Amino acid sequence: MRTAAASHEPDRIRMLARVTAGMAADGRRRAPRTRPRWTRVVSPVAGLAAAVAATGIAVVATDGAERPQTVRTSSEPAEPAAPPAGAGAGADSASADPDRRPGDEPDAGSQSDAERHTPSAYPTAAGPNHLAEPTVRSKGTINTHSNPYWAQSDITLTIGRPLTSLTVELRVADTGDVRSTGAWTSLPTGDVTTATHAEDGVLVYRWTLRKGATVTPGRYVLAGQYNHAEGDRDTGRDAYAASGNGASGAFAVRGDFPQFTVGD
């Protein structure tokens, strides 16, 4: 029997025919229903294919009968999704370029690196006065020989180039009993005129370079001396200014005086 069983070859066509016949008989016992189009056979070969398909459906349908399910033997290709509005010939050229990535487009309102780094964005060659010494430097101080009753305000000018005109003014606020006691300068006496007067509570000293005179480069002091009420005098409202002309053109400087305490 084992030998006969081993050599036995089942008749697959007959088995499929029986399965088909059984399904047809079962269908007659049930309520009539529309047959699917795939059961219609037009030739023996088509009938065989239909039987195979029927067998496959029977297996799927009966496997796990407690969980009925619909089975599709084949699926038709899905309809292609409609292109978004605006796509096609009239679409933006950025979307038509497959090599362009999001963010590649330059910002229309920004400068490119080339525009930001052109030579015109940097300073050009220095002009005549670039990093050059100023024509006139100035500084205001209270002379260290001042005392509780008397003081001297010094204006120091450092001249870099010859001056053909110069006017210097010292203004000492009347903080109480301020009276002029004199004035002097290290400029040549014959080249400068000195004037002193009081106006609106301020003692004014003015030095003016005479016409035709020249101030040569160097360091010069112009000083105003005065008495004042006893004690340390407040210099907060004192000031000076200097202006003139020379080889480098016109200039003007101004400044004030630091507070001075007797004994410092």
Q: How far apart are CA 167 and CA 210, in angstroms?
A: 10
CA pair distance 188, 214, nearest whole angstrom: 10
Domain assignments of the chain as residue spans, ordered by start: 2-62, 136-256
> Which pLDDT does position 30 carry in this prediction?
54
Taking 60 as the threshold, does the pLDDT of residue 19 lie above it?
A: yes
Rounded-to-integer distance, Cα 210 and Cα 217, Å: 17
What topology is assigned to 136-256 in CATH?
Immunoglobulin-like (2.60.40)
pTM score of the predicted model? 0.51
Q: For residue 99, is pLDDT > 50?
A: no
Q: Residue 253: which pLDDT band, with cuts at 50, 70 and 90?
A: very high
User: What residue ranges in the chain does DSSP mark as E strands?
Assistant: 136-142, 150-159, 163-173, 179-185, 192-199, 202-209, 218-227, 239-246, 251-256
* DSSP secondary structure, 75-120, as one string: -PPPPPPPPPTT-STTS-HHHH-TTPPTT-SPPTTS--HHHHTSGG
Helix (H) / strand (E) element for 218: namely strand 218-227
246 has a pLDDT exceeding 60: yes
- Look at 19 and 192; give whichever has higher pLDDT: 192
d(CA 112, CA 117): 9
Residue 120, φ and ψ in degrees, nearest 5? -65, -15
Name the residue among 188, 195, 253 with its Cα closest to residue 214.
188
User: Cα 251 to the chain's mean position, in Å?
Assistant: 39
